[in-house]
Amino acid sequence: MTTDPPACDQEPIRVPGHIQPQGFLLTIDRKSTEVLRASANAGSCTGVDAGDLLGRPLDATGLLPAVLLTDILAHEPQPRLSRTHGIAAFTTGHYLVTSHVSGDERVIECEFIDPAFKGSLDLLYPDMRAAIESLQQDPTPAALFQNTARIVRELTGFDRALVYAFDAQYNGVVVGEDRNDRLPSYFDLRFPASDIPAQARELYRLNRLRLIADAAYAPVPILDREGPGLPPLDLSYAVLRSVSPVHVEYMRNMGTASSFSVSIVVEGRLWGLISAHHAQPRSVPHHVRAACDFLAQIMAMQIEAHTRSSHAAERVERQAVQARLLASMAREEHFVQGLVRHPEDFLSLVDAHGAAVVLNDACHTVGAAPDEAGVAALVAWLAEAHGDRDIYSTDSLAEAYPGMAELAGGEGAVAGLLAVQISQVHRSYVLWFRPEVVRTVRWGGDPRQAKTVSAGRLHPRLSFESWQETVRHRSAPWTEPQLDTAALLRNAIIGIVMRKAEELADLTD
Ligand code: BLA
């Protein structure tokens, strides 16, 4: 009997039990300050063996200089935010000491400072100011993405920096790139959602920075003090957290020896990542990581601003059509006439090619729409499958609607559907249709081979060669302002219907 290998999104990346070797880690009990855990390399980094640290109060170990010790013990860091305490010198060099809270423990991380990377955030300040000003001046999102990639590559000295944006299904597209000739271009390539599985995306939404300085690293185990078993150590906020072995293999297959990525979080959602690669192992010092995090946040704000202003412009564009349509509906004897007798406005309201109004079993269509039987079948399916929703939309009816093949009007003619339910009781709907837009997308490697299983283990794909796919049976996507416009029309119709009903009641009184 064979057992299925665990899925990508099941890998417990927050509790790997190991760290990366560019530093060492201790944890102390938040109350007693007893050293509960130490990474196995503590001894080789400091000259004090992990075994001599475990089980002793931190101040009795003599490991850290008094100033750092005092700072650590005097300040309880906030959850999710690590605190920088200062620099400690050990036999192997200087280390930056930071700490954060994880459960009942305080995690103290000592990260090796590469003497080649001297600097500080205040020395970077003039460059940061110039960078932020230039990001704020980028006229289009494309220019913003390109500029961000350029700045991050300049700050980190990596061979390639990418801006990677997720779509609604969490596939990603490279929308900005800056590079030298050592690594190939991935610009405009798409990558499947499984490349960055759900638990990784959730972690990256919470913790915006991660560094894999050398993909060929040997993970260092974390040792527990003797005595009753400790719970697994959550390293979600640790800079030294050891990363998924599948991902390290992915990096090797991609030809990237080091990787640094920063999350772009827009309105609480992981919008994308800035992902930088180097063909050789390479580190990114703490102050440069912090600078990149600032930039990613500025970029997120700029994305929000661009989206808001383009939505506002789209709404303004639609306002005149909407006003005319509302006036027509109010003027005509019946609101349905207000729509179907003004097909141009009715369709352009949401950029559709066809539409139908279904009211008490009567069906009126305009433009490129299925025939009456087709509309009736669609409405029956909508009421059954999505009857609880006022508004339903899809850009691929072929994917969503099982009866698609029988729908007269042809698959291409009605690839997208936007439906507004006016009354549940009477199965009344306004429907808009959009035709198919055939697109070509280029993937970074064949997405059907995104993962393979061998010897009971998951492996990422071997090749990232561009792979072309023709996307069929999809319309242009419905935008948020278009969905809002449809909702407004729904309210207007309900208002008109109610007013007419009241007038009728007054007459019969
Ligand atoms: C993590 N995958 C990641 C990360 C990136 C990517 C950026 C974050 C870590 C880092 O900064 O390197 C993927 N990198 C990309 C993509 C591009 C890029 C798409 O530059 C495009 C240009 N990965 C797989 C498969 C699995 C998988 C099959 O291909 C399933 C087991 C898993 N990827 C995976 C996991 C992580 C990850 C588990 C989390 C790593 C961690 O933080 O521990």
CA of 211, closest atom in ligand 1: 11
- The pLDDT score that the predictor gives to residue 410 is 53
**Candidate of 175, 247, 249, 459 to mutate for ligand 1, largest count of ligand atoms within 8 Å of Cβ:** 247
Distance of CA 320 to the CA centre of its chain: 35
pLDDT in tens, the chain (509 residues): 445 556 888 899 999 999 999 999 999 999 999 999 999 999 999 999 888 999 999 999 999 999 999 999 888 877 788 899 999 999 899 999 999 999 999 999 999 999 888 788 889 999 999 999 999 999 999 999 999 999 999 999 999 999 999 998 899 999 999 999 999 999 999 999 999 999 999 999 999 999 999 999 999 999 999 999 999 999 999 999 999 999 999 999 999 999 999 999 999 999 999 999 999 999 999 999 999 999 999 999 999 999 999 999 988 888 899 999 999 998 888 889 999 999 999 999 999 999 999 988 899 999 999 999 899 999 999 999 999 999 999 999 988 988 877 775 554 578 999 999 998 778 899 999 999 999 899 999 998 888 888 877 888 888 888 889 988 889 999 999 999 999 999 999 998 888 877 777 776 66
CA–centroid distance, residue 196 to ligand 1 (Å): 4
Task: Report how far residue 38's alpha carbon sits from residue 109's, in angstroms, rounded to the nearest whole number.
Answer: 10
CA–centroid distance, residue 197 to ligand 1 (Å): 7
The secondary structure element, H or E, covering residue 466 is: strand 466-471
CA–centroid distance, residue 195 to ligand 1 (Å): 5
**Candidate of 250, 284, 462 to mutate for ligand 1, largest count of ligand atoms within 8 Å of Cβ:** 250
CA–centroid distance, residue 164 to ligand 1 (Å): 12
Task: Report how far residue 416's alpha carbon sits from residue 422's, in angstroms, rounded to the nearest whole number.
Answer: 20
Task: Report how far residue 501's alpha carbon sits from residue 478's, in angstroms, rounded to the nearest whole number.
Answer: 33
Structural Rg of the chain based on CA atoms = 29
CA–centroid distance, residue 317 to ligand 1 (Å): 41
Give me the residue label for tokens 């609880």: 388
Q: Which residues line ligand 1 (CB under 6 A)?
A: 8, 11, 13, 162, 164, 172, 174, 186, 191, 194-197, 200, 210, 212, 243-244, 246-247, 250, 259, 261, 273, 275, 450-451, 458, 460
Beta bridge partners, 354, equal 367, 433
| Tokens matching residue 88 | 């400690």
**Candidate of 177, 191, 196 to mutate for ligand 1, largest count of ligand atoms within 8 Å of Cβ:** 196
Distance of CA 197 to the CA centre of its chain: 11
**Residues in CB range of 240: below 8 A, 6 or more apart:** 19, 20, 22, 23, 24, 25, 39, 109, 111
| Tokens matching residue 464 | 């990232």
DSSP 398-409: HHH-GGGGG-TT
Nearest C-alpha to atom 41 of ligand 1 is from which residue?
Answer: 243
| Tokens matching residue 264 | 């772009």
CA of 461, closest atom in ligand 1: 29
Nearest C-alpha to atom 2 of ligand 1 is from which residue?
Answer: 196
Print burial letters for 383-396: b (CB count within 10 Å at least 16), e (below 16).
Answer: eeebeeeeebbbbb
CA of 242, closest atom in ligand 1: 43
- Note the ipTM here: 0.97
Parallel/antiparallel/unpaired status of strands 83-90 and 258-266: unpaired
Nearest C-alpha to atom 29 of ligand 1 is from which residue?
Answer: 195
Report helix, strand or coil for 140. Answer: coil
Task: Report how far residue 198's alpha carbon sits from residue 188's, in angstroms, rounded to the nearest whole number.
Answer: 23
